[in-house]
Structure 1
Amino acid sequence: MPRYHFISGLPRSGSTLLAAILRQNPRFHAGMTSPLGSLFNAALAQMSAGSEFGAVVGVEQRKAVLHGLFASFYESYPDDSVIFDTNRQWCSKLPALLDLFPNAKVIACVRNVAWVMDSIERLYRANPYENTRLFGNMQRSTVYNRLEGLAQHDQLVGFAWSALREAFYGEQGSSVLVLDYDLLAQAPQKVLPLIYQFIGEPLFEHDFENVEYDAPEFDLQLGVEGLHRVRPKVEFQSRRTIIPPDLFEKYSQLSFWSDSSGSQAYVVTAKPPEQGVSMPELKL
């Protein structure tokens, strides 16, 4: 039976990059967001209170069905595989996930939230002739509307941030590794051994000069070309923000994981950058 781990955390924070690196290991399977999070929620809803079937499906049956989703979805992979399933919902499902897979670990990718917003705004402006689905039905007339909408607790950034905060301070926090995107991009050769140690796997020599990943068909149906495109070389690129200074300052205050007091989670992070310029100092 394959071993399962999970990649979660904030959008635009390196989850696709991390998956692209991990999949170089022939025993590892990793990729962009999978449909298992949605299937998990849909199946659970049909078996729970409020559904006509809730009263006739017991807890053990529910566990078997949810476990079976993973077994069926990854049926073609060898028994010695290590599978990293990616979904931002997993941080909000730790009690169930760790009951189903007691040895599983969650790698939560993070980034200064201001830079998350900056990255999404860049994608929006790079596709000016697309009505991207990233914003759903939200008002998107100005950068203030767009970022305020994204930050709502049921939207792209706000939900992921809330779920991550739940996992970070929850009783399953010791199964969570918080990984800062800037640090992964700047020092992958130092970060990957920490990940292997965390998941209890023998170290593999990765090639950080030749990383490959792209999902053009998926990105186009979202109306955001290049959303999951990974550059071949893992490197840190500093730049100035394109969002107004007041917004950058506002969202920079949300990086709660920089203070791990009150949390059992493991944190691999970089010191916060100066306002408007992403230039992290290593802190391993």
Structure 2
Amino acid sequence: MERRFHFISGLPRSGSTLLSAILSQNPRFHAGMSGPLGGAFNTLLGDLSGRNEYSVFITDEQRKRMLKGLFDTYYGPEYDAQVVFDTNRAWCTRMHHLKELFPQSKVIACVRHVSWIIDSVEQLVRKNTFQPSSIFNYQPGGTVYSRAEGLANGDGMVGYAYNAVKEAFYGHDTANLMLLRYETLTSDPARAMAAVYDFIGEPAYTHDFDNISYHADEFDLRAGTPGLHTVRKKIAVRERTSVLPPDVFRRFENDAFWLDPTLNPRQVRVV
């Protein structure tokens, strides 16, 4: 049976690692944290462009085969899963490419109130106060205001991903796109996963939401951000007070465009 590929994308700190940890309980599936294929895809796409003096010898069909080959090569025989979910925030900017390469593939974009994403990053920074984070290029200076600004700008970790989700949401390939809210995944994981399985067309699987397992401690430590990909064993909503100043929190509180049906002209599925 030919291996099937799906993609996890969306906003950071919005449940993509948690979703991958849940999916990985299914022995037919492989899913993990963000990996190198998104960057490799963009690099190869650029190297096959007109900036390569030999690009006159490369056809679009060859480009497609080479790009598709990245996935077949990376997920080699050591991965025995029938269904692979690759995670990268860049996939929301590659909806048409993915549709051409993998016509049956689906993209699940994880989303969350932006204020709480900024809050989550700031909480990590304060928790690891003696370890400057790769999120801010290991720079130890700045304030909560400059950090929020850096995250939210177009090249920032949050701003780039947010714009990528909007590009996919308002693009022409939305039939293969679903937005999964962090709030739904944590408060009603059974409903969230039922929607995921329905969306990707796979038979239902009974997941254990009280026994989730995922570890990326070595990666997180190297990034200067221990806990970046920590997934708690039991899924539950944990209420707390934001660590952000009120004006910073309010700046982003109306950015959840996916909650307004009038802003969803293509009827993208939002769970």
- With the shorter chain as reference, the TM-score category is over 0.9
- 1:130 is displaced (CA, Å) by 1.3
- In structure 1, give the amino acid aligned to 2:154: H
- 1:137 is displaced (CA, Å) by 7.4
Q: Are 1:138 and 1:149, in contact at CA under 8 Å, matched by a contact in 2? A: no
- 1:51 is displaced (CA, Å) by 2.7
> How many Å separate the matches in 2 of 1:46 and 1:53?
10
What is the TM-score normalised by the length of structure 1?
0.91
Partner SS for 1:48? coil
RMSD over aligned CA atoms reads 1.4
- 1:54 is displaced (CA, Å) by 2.7
Question: Which whole-Å deviations, capped at 9, do the CAs of 1:49-92 have from their partners, x for residues lacking one?
Answer: 223333322111110000000001112234x6111000000000
Q: Which residue of 1 aligns with 2:114?
A: 113
**Unaligned regions of 5+ residues in structure 1, if any?**
269-284
Summarize the alignment of residues 246-265 of structure 1 with structure 2, pairs less than 5 Å apart. 246-260=247-261, 261-265=264-268
- 1:264 is displaced (CA, Å) by 3.4
Summarize the alignment of residues 91-170 of structure 1 with structure 2, pairs less than 5 Å apart. 91-136=92-137, 140-170=141-171
Q: Are 1:139 and 1:146, in contact at CA under 8 Å, matched by a contact in 2? A: no
What is the TM-score normalised by the length of structure 2?
0.95
> How many Å separate the matches in 2 of 1:180 and 1:163?
16
The sequence identity of aligned pairs, in percent, is 48
Does 107-116 or 147-156 show the bigger shift? 147-156
Partner SS for 1:150? helix
Q: Which residue of 1 aligns with 2:224?
A: 223
Q: Are 2:132 and 2:138, in contact at CA under 8 Å, matched by a contact in 1? A: no
Q: Which residue of 2 aligns with 1:9?
A: 10
- In structure 2, give the amino acid aligned to 1:53: Y
Q: Which residue of 2 aligns with 1:204?
A: 205
**Unaligned regions of 5+ residues in structure 2, if any?**
none
> How many Å separate the matches in 2 of 1:220 and 1:33?
16
Partner SS for 2:5? strand
> How many Å separate the matches in 1 of 2:149 and 2:91?
24
The alpha-carbon distance between structure 1 residues 59 and 194, as it changes in their structure 2 partners (threshold 3 A), is same
- 1:223 is displaced (CA, Å) by 0.4
Partner SS for 1:178? strand
- 1:243 is displaced (CA, Å) by 0.3
Q: Which residue of 1 aligns with 2:236?
A: 235
> How many Å separate the matches in 1 of 2:145 and 2:193?
37
Q: Are 1:140 and 1:146, in contact at CA under 8 Å, matched by a contact in 2? A: no
The alpha-carbon distance between structure 1 residues 91 and 140, as it changes in their structure 2 partners (threshold 3 A), is farther
Q: Are 1:168 and 1:264, in contact at CA under 8 Å, matched by a contact in 2? A: no
Partner SS for 1:24? coil
Partner SS for 1:33? coil
Q: Which residue of 1 aligns with 2:84?
A: 83
> How many Å separate the matches in 1 of 2:266 and 2:153?
24
Q: Are 1:7 and 1:86, in contact at CA under 8 Å, matched by a contact in 2? A: yes
Query: How many residue pairs get matched?
Result: 267
Question: Which whole-Å deviations, capped at 9, do the CAs of 1:169-226 have from their partners, x for residues lacking one?
Answer: 1111121110110110111112111110110000000000100001011101110001
- 1:229 is displaced (CA, Å) by 1.0
Q: Are 2:95 and 2:168, in contact at CA under 8 Å, matched by a contact in 1? A: yes
